[in-house]
Chains A and B, each alone.
Chain A
């Protein structure tokens, strides 16, 4: 179980969080049809570092961006979604 440092709440167990999706699978509401369908169905499955959306569902509720290694589960960075890029 990962230990995730929520910018609001500090170190918390993974059980408090919900994994949502890799950042690059987000489909903008105004994305062209081709882009939306491509993003929906042709997804990379990287072995390595990945930026992901998580939510501190059973904590402060914040949307977070995690930089996580998909093979080793190391977490290099946790940022609030609002903090940009």
Chain B
């Protein structure tokens, strides 16, 4: 056990039981998984991505690249969770990743032996060997790719989104953030303070200090309480993941830890959208590792992490420690280790020590050659001291490689970076939005300096926002030691084997990978990044980017800023997809629209089919009937007696005004204006590029009132299109458009008995002629009866107020069933229209066809002036050799849907089957298809070939109208 007898911010009276890789351990409340494992002497926490090398925790925070675990079970499973950013709870179940069969014995570790075969750019290189090489590599790559396993069950818990507004958003509740937020709260500003940890304090949690005479953590807690009391919001365990345009910052609030059951509200995480007038980014700095061979061994850690284990968690991770000092901050770690009872030697990487008179041994001018050890952790470090080789035994190595300000949010907000050679860091400059970096995030070292800076920045913000600020002096500070500047020119020089000197721990990118990529010509940082995958893992290179850049700069013999940086993209830390989806999951992921007659259909227990956002009955099967049997029965009834179907989802626009007819001729590519009152006709609309967009019918209800119908699925698009033509292209027209899609229900009654069935509803007692309209009434509800046929039979569409439609449906359904007819759904509708040769949006109108392709060129209005008319003149749309709509008659077996049309086996396809159906009454497989020069090829025999179904069958090219070519039936 490595738990110290006293100290730390853990509850020693509250043990917590958890499982790691199937074994049960005890930790304490307040522990992270990583600190609890270290306290239990578990140092091996994961295997690396590519070489499966043994790894322990490198850091004690969100930047952790190594100690990734999958947490939870079933619907609460989360992979790639950092053990250092996961607070212990009773019953936590975690498993290590990237190992098979076990963590201690991992067969994947042989990858390390063949590492010379999987160098930088390995994935890309596999593509150069031709398709055969890829087939060989693919299996291997897929086995090795990815980190954790994806969850297999749907999310069990709820996620929600919430929006908030404030004067000042402060990201990070370390000393700088607390001080700034406190000032603003005291001045009466609306403040939101965000902290990714579960407590405020930031670095104070690992580096105690006296602030205003108080113990630092007590000061921090009091500050947090005062902000709350002043009406501010303090969000703990909440990470600012992205800084977007116009000062929108998104936060992820973790209500429970990964894999943990939520409270009574069932809420797992909350995504906040915050718009603040100003945002202070007090996000701190992350320590960098040092480069030497074996720097990835377990127990080789960041120096600040060692202090965190001791101060925060009361865990002493090793008893024989070496502290590698790249900066003065290392001395704090050495000091603390010694106080905690460990043996310490400080290895000063600089020529001389800047902090003489230490109570522990200090060796200066040290070069680290390599660390040796194994899955149990580091055992020794080989160094040279003033050129003399030595080997030092140890069980812990602390690396103090200097600090990189956390500038991610600043960069996401469009800010720029400035290179500081003295401590090898990029600092934020030139903010583009209302963001202000403060404290260590701004490159400021020292607690007193940080507090003073936060004080000044907050004061400036309050002034610009018009608040009367309390004129306070920055708090007084006493702290042990301070972080000094790092190594001039960076502690980069590596003296050991480049192949085992790790730069990016999570993606297993070594110094030799960077060297190789550079030798192969990948000189740009953006190319280097993609070729080596440096910084492209889930940690986004938090500990590795600067090291990689510096190495590239050294190879290029250019200064670091000349080499440039890569882009920091949201999210700052990984976010579970559920949080982004919020409540918009499952049935809530898209709006579900219900037809006004939904309940009437549901009572008949139909098969439902989604159509756009709508659900429509596909068929009404009787007990024992298949979909196909039911649809055929419904279609046959429509052909022989009468059928009734609900077409309420059709797009419907009520268009009125003296220029309504003119407007319609701008939108529709057919003749419209000269239509007589009381008449309607088929029409279609083009896209801007001259291809067909949609089709429907247009009806003249009165001199200056028209009804336009178009396809159900295209209704929203058509509404936007009409608005565009009306407002942008033809604003001078006197016309108004009302979208009445959901206001008017519509049912279609079709078949030889349809006219006699609906005639009693009409005011004049007679059914209107084909493409004419009539007025009717039922129980006082006015009806609009349009004689339009899609099925090929005499048919009527009856429109009425949606909330009155149930009565009409019941009335007609009773009559239809009494006349031996049938209710029919979309499947029968499809069978009927295919036999009649009618086109459908999404089928033959597929975004590639012109009116000419579908045999409708003669309907185009001469003289143009309609939307898309000019582009239709493009030579490519007029050229011979385009596909044209044809009918296909089976000569052998049933024509498969979606078949290619070939002249001979193996020949190039000359078209395809768009819709396959059958002759409703006579039987026999038929289809519609698009065939090159189809109109001139009637009578030709082709092959319909469907490789996916394994069917090739001969078909004959015929006319598109299989049923009633003379049109006698629908005219009645």
| B-binding residues in A (CB < 8 A) | 1-3, 18, 20, 26-33, 36-37, 40, 53, 55, 57, 61, 63, 72-73, 75, 81-82
Contact of B870 (CB < 8 Å), options: A26, A33, A75: A33
A residues less than 8 Å from B723 (CB atoms): 55, 61, 63
Q: Does B729 contact A (CB under 8 A)?
A: yes
Stretch at the interface among B242-250, B317-325, B550-558, B745-753: B242-250
**In the complex the two chains form, is B728's CB within 8 Å of A81's CB?**
yes
**In the complex the two chains form, is A37's CB within 8 Å of B727's CB?**
no
B residues less than 8 Å from A55 (CB atoms): 720, 723
| A-binding residues in B (CB < 8 A) | 244-248, 273, 275, 414, 432, 666, 688-689, 720, 723-724, 727-731, 865-867, 869-871, 873-874
- Cα of A31 to Cα of B723 in the assembled complex, Å: 20
Given contact pairs A1-B248, A3-B275, A37-B871, A27 touches B865 in the complex (Cβ within 8 A):
no
- Cα of A32 to Cα of B866 in the assembled complex, Å: 13
B434 → A minimal CB distance (Å) = 12
- Cα of A2 to Cα of B273 in the assembled complex, Å: 12
Contact of B865 (CB < 8 Å), options: A26, A30, A57: A30
Given contact pairs A1-B245, A2-B246, A29-B865, A37 touches B730 in the complex (Cβ within 8 A):
no
Q: 20 additional contacts, CB 8 Å, given A2-B245, A28-B729?
A: A1-B246, A3-B248, A3-B275, A20-B724, A27-B870, A29-B729, A29-B730, A29-B865, A29-B866, A36-B870, A37-B871, A37-B874, A40-B688, A55-B720, A57-B720, A63-B727, A72-B432, A73-B245, A81-B728, A82-B731
Please give me the 3 A-B residue pairs with the lowest Cβ-Cβ distance, nearest first. A36-B870, A3-B246, A73-B245
- Cα of A20 to Cα of B689 in the assembled complex, Å: 16
- Cα of A82 to Cα of B688 in the assembled complex, Å: 23
A46 → B minimal CB distance (Å) = 18
Given contact pairs A1-B244, A2-B245, A40 touches B730 in the complex (Cβ within 8 A):
no
A residues less than 8 Å from B870 (CB atoms): 27, 31-33, 36-37
| Interchain residue pairs with CB less than 8 A apart (29) | A1-B245, A1-B246, A1-B273, A2-B245, A3-B246, A3-B247, A3-B248, A3-B275, A28-B729, A29-B865, A29-B866, A29-B867, A30-B865, A31-B870, A33-B870, A33-B873, A36-B871, A37-B871, A40-B688, A40-B689, A40-B871, A55-B720, A57-B720, A61-B723, A63-B723, A63-B728, A73-B245, A75-B246, A81-B728
Contact of A73 (CB < 8 Å), options: B246, B273, B729, B869: B246
A63 → B minimal CB distance (Å) = 5
- The chain B residue with its CB closest to the CB of A27 is B688
B residues less than 8 Å from A18 (CB atoms): 720
**In the complex the two chains form, is B666's CB within 8 Å of A29's CB?**
yes
- Cα of A53 to Cα of B866 in the assembled complex, Å: 21
- Cα of A24 to Cα of B870 in the assembled complex, Å: 17
- The chain B residue with its CB closest to the CB of A30 is B865
B residues less than 8 Å from A20 (CB atoms): 724
- Cα of A1 to Cα of B723 in the assembled complex, Å: 25
B residues less than 8 Å from A29 (CB atoms): 666, 729-730, 865-867, 869
- Cα of A61 to Cα of B414 in the assembled complex, Å: 31
A80 → B minimal CB distance (Å) = 10
A residues less than 8 Å from B432 (CB atoms): 72
- The chain B residue with its CB closest to the CB of A28 is B729
**In the complex the two chains form, is A53's CB within 8 Å of B275's CB?**
no
- Cα of A57 to Cα of B724 in the assembled complex, Å: 12
Contact of B414 (CB < 8 Å), options: A26, A31, A37, A72: A72
- Cα of A28 to Cα of B873 in the assembled complex, Å: 16
A residues less than 8 Å from B245 (CB atoms): 1-2, 73
B residues less than 8 Å from A37 (CB atoms): 870-871, 874
B611 → A minimal CB distance (Å) = 22
B2 → A minimal CB distance (Å) = 47
A residues less than 8 Å from B728 (CB atoms): 26, 53, 63, 81
- The chain B residue with its CB closest to the CB of A82 is B731
- The chain B residue with its CB closest to the CB of A32 is B870
**In the complex the two chains form, is B727's CB within 8 Å of A81's CB?**
yes
B residues less than 8 Å from A82 (CB atoms): 731
- Cα of A20 to Cα of B729 in the assembled complex, Å: 13
B residues less than 8 Å from A57 (CB atoms): 720
- Cα of A61 to Cα of B736 in the assembled complex, Å: 14
- The chain A residue with its CB closest to the CB of B414 is A72
B residues less than 8 Å from A75 (CB atoms): 246
- Cα of A63 to Cα of B731 in the assembled complex, Å: 11
B570 → A minimal CB distance (Å) = 12
- Cα of A9 to Cα of B113 in the assembled complex, Å: 65
A50 → B minimal CB distance (Å) = 15
A residues less than 8 Å from B874 (CB atoms): 37
A residues less than 8 Å from B871 (CB atoms): 36-37, 40
B485 → A minimal CB distance (Å) = 34
B residues less than 8 Å from A73 (CB atoms): 245-246
- Cα of A5 to Cα of B254 in the assembled complex, Å: 33
- The chain A residue with its CB closest to the CB of B872 is A33
- Cα of A27 to Cα of B727 in the assembled complex, Å: 13
- Cα of A46 to Cα of B727 in the assembled complex, Å: 25
A residues less than 8 Å from B873 (CB atoms): 33
B residues less than 8 Å from A26 (CB atoms): 728-729
B46 → A minimal CB distance (Å) = 36
A76 → B minimal CB distance (Å) = 13
- Cα of A59 to Cα of B581 in the assembled complex, Å: 23
- Cα of A36 to Cα of B247 in the assembled complex, Å: 39
- Cα of A30 to Cα of B731 in the assembled complex, Å: 14
- Cα of A18 to Cα of B414 in the assembled complex, Å: 24
A13 → B minimal CB distance (Å) = 8
- Cα of A21 to Cα of B865 in the assembled complex, Å: 21
B622 → A minimal CB distance (Å) = 43
B residues less than 8 Å from A33 (CB atoms): 870, 873
- Cα of A1 to Cα of B245 in the assembled complex, Å: 5
B340 → A minimal CB distance (Å) = 48
- The chain B residue with its CB closest to the CB of A61 is B723
- Cα of A40 to Cα of B414 in the assembled complex, Å: 32
- Cα of A10 to Cα of B874 in the assembled complex, Å: 43
B871 → A minimal CB distance (Å) = 6
B residues less than 8 Å from A63 (CB atoms): 723, 727-728
A residues less than 8 Å from B720 (CB atoms): 18, 55, 57
A26 → B minimal CB distance (Å) = 6
- The chain A residue with its CB closest to the CB of B244 is A1
- Cα of A30 to Cα of B273 in the assembled complex, Å: 45
- Cα of A73 to Cα of B244 in the assembled complex, Å: 10
A residues less than 8 Å from B866 (CB atoms): 29
- The chain A residue with its CB closest to the CB of B246 is A3
B residues less than 8 Å from A30 (CB atoms): 865
- The chain B residue with its CB closest to the CB of A4 is B246
- Cα of A80 to Cα of B334 in the assembled complex, Å: 66
B593 → A minimal CB distance (Å) = 16
- Cα of A3 to Cα of B275 in the assembled complex, Å: 9
B591 → A minimal CB distance (Å) = 12
A residues less than 8 Å from B688 (CB atoms): 27, 40
- The chain B residue with its CB closest to the CB of A18 is B720
- The chain A residue with its CB closest to the CB of B247 is A3
- Cα of A18 to Cα of B720 in the assembled complex, Å: 10
- Cα of A6 to Cα of B136 in the assembled complex, Å: 57
A residues less than 8 Å from B869 (CB atoms): 29
- The chain B residue with its CB closest to the CB of A3 is B246
- Cα of A32 to Cα of B867 in the assembled complex, Å: 13
- Cα of A61 to Cα of B726 in the assembled complex, Å: 13
- Cα of A26 to Cα of B414 in the assembled complex, Å: 31
B164 → A minimal CB distance (Å) = 13
- Cα of A55 to Cα of B726 in the assembled complex, Å: 13
B residues less than 8 Å from A28 (CB atoms): 729
- Cα of A28 to Cα of B730 in the assembled complex, Å: 9
B residues less than 8 Å from A40 (CB atoms): 688-689, 871
- The chain B residue with its CB closest to the CB of A71 is B414
With most chain A CB atoms within 10 A of its CB, the pick from B666, B689, B728, B731 is B728
